[in-house]
Amino acid sequence: MSKIAIKEDIFWVGAKDPDRDVFDGLMPLPQGTTYNAYLVVGSEKTALIDTCEPEFLDQLLGNLEGVKKIDYIVSHHAEQDHSGSIPLMLERHPEATLLCLQKNKDMLQTLMTIPDDRIQVIEDGGEVSLGNKTIRFEHFPWVHWPETTITYIPEDKVLFPCDFLGSHYCWENIFAGDDPIVYKGAREYYVQIMMLYSMMTAKHLDRLKQFDIEFICPSHGSVYDKPQIILDLYEKWMRAAPENLALIAYVSAHGSTEIMANYLGEALEKRGVKAVLKNLIGLPLNELAGDLTDAATIVLGSSVIMAALHPLAVYTAFLLDRLKPKAKFAAVIGSYGWSPNPLKKAAELLPSWKVDVVGSVIAKGHPDAAALAELAALADTIAAKHREAGLMK
């Protein structure tokens, strides 16, 4: 690997991690990831933007071969996948000063040892000149940590949005173009990392409108050379109304709940609601994540096992409650052997997700005609709710 030119005197110098299979011990990474760092060479000063996980320092150093002097190391974010190599880089470059916002300084110094005299705190909105290039700093809190900072180089129209707008995708060609695989990964990344905070952070999209942007260089994944594509997608994911879509996520021990899920899906389709079924058994979180940006209704289906909802349903309910998709409606379906109570109490697993639980259908054993009639009625209710919400005619 060697450095890759983004624009004149702006280079990608980060690290590729194609084999990493999970992030935070939670998010599957089917396509690995990258820790993007960038080198900006001004007429007077040179800046390194972010670093990488310490175990990948060799890649970063290899990409910086021949760079004699680094005047500044810019830190956007204290999380170790970008900041972990800062102490080592400061050691190797005693001439370098770390540039960051105060909030980031506080967090960096709780996570690693960086002496005060190596740090220059920049104000929100502050600028640092490299000679013929300027780095502008802006605090963009909660995408996805409180200290998250973005930077922008006006002379080159290049935006560095940190984790915001990124993707876990270990590319061969750094530029995203309009490759659908990049945007699929970006959507899954959005759901798993950014969606929880979207009520607070959607306004950041308006703040980005102040910048004339030619390239977006996030901290993970591809560089966006057609920036409007990812900006439009974030507008849709963060702010657009949900679609006329019901996601039925279910787990079935002996097939009864699966029959119910299939029946409900067909009944919804007959009523004009698009239905997507996801069997939770063996389903990676990123595959569940995709439709969470769009669905107006989410139906959780579960068997009763161990006198409780199936653990996969409990896990999914927990994720829904934490990730808070913008779905307006929810429902519960499922089958039990001798105790319906876990299904009756399923909505209690969603204490903080503001969603309208519009119904439940609970069958004893194999769903009989009465249970199927209840599922048809639930489909009527969901279709009516979508119509009332203006999602279908």
Q: Using CB under 6 A as the criterion, which residues of the chain lie in contact with ligand FEO when the complex forms?
A: 77, 79, 81-82, 144-145, 163, 219-220
**Is the bond preceding 310 in cis, omega lying within 30 degrees of 0?**
no
Helix (H, G, I), strand (E, B) or coil at 293: helix
How far apart are CB 78 and ligand FEO at their closest, in Å? 9
How far apart are CB 163 and ligand FEO at their closest, in Å? 4
Question: What are the DSSP calls for 161-207, one per residue?
Answer: -TTTT------SSSB-TT-HHHHHHHHHHIIIIIGGGHHHHTHHHHH
DSSP-derived secondary structure letter, 254: S
How far apart are CB 370 and ligand FEO at their closest, in Å? 50
User: Residue 145 — φ and ψ, nearest 5°?
Assistant: -115, 165
User: CB-wise, 216 or 264, nearer to ligand FEO?
Assistant: 216
User: CB-wise, 145 or 215, nearer to ligand FEO?
Assistant: 145
User: CB-wise, 163 or 291, nearer to ligand FEO?
Assistant: 163
- What's CA 150's distance to the chain center, in Å? 17
Give yes or no for a contact between 378 and 363, defined as CB atoms under 8 angstroms apart: no
How far apart are CB 36 and ligand FEO at their closest, in Å? 9
How far apart are CB 38 and ligand FEO at their closest, in Å? 14
Q: Which residue number has the CB closest to ligand FEO?
A: 79
User: CB-wise, 82 or 271, nearer to ligand FEO?
Assistant: 82
User: How big is the CA angle at 305 (ends 366 and 348), to the nearest 5 degrees?
Assistant: 100
How far apart are CB 191 and ligand FEO at their closest, in Å? 15
User: CB-wise, 49 or 247, nearer to ligand FEO?
Assistant: 49
CA-CA distance, 57 to 61, in Å (whole number)? 6
User: CB-wise, 28 or 337, nearer to ligand FEO?
Assistant: 28
Quote the longest CA-to-CA distance of the chain. Answer: 78
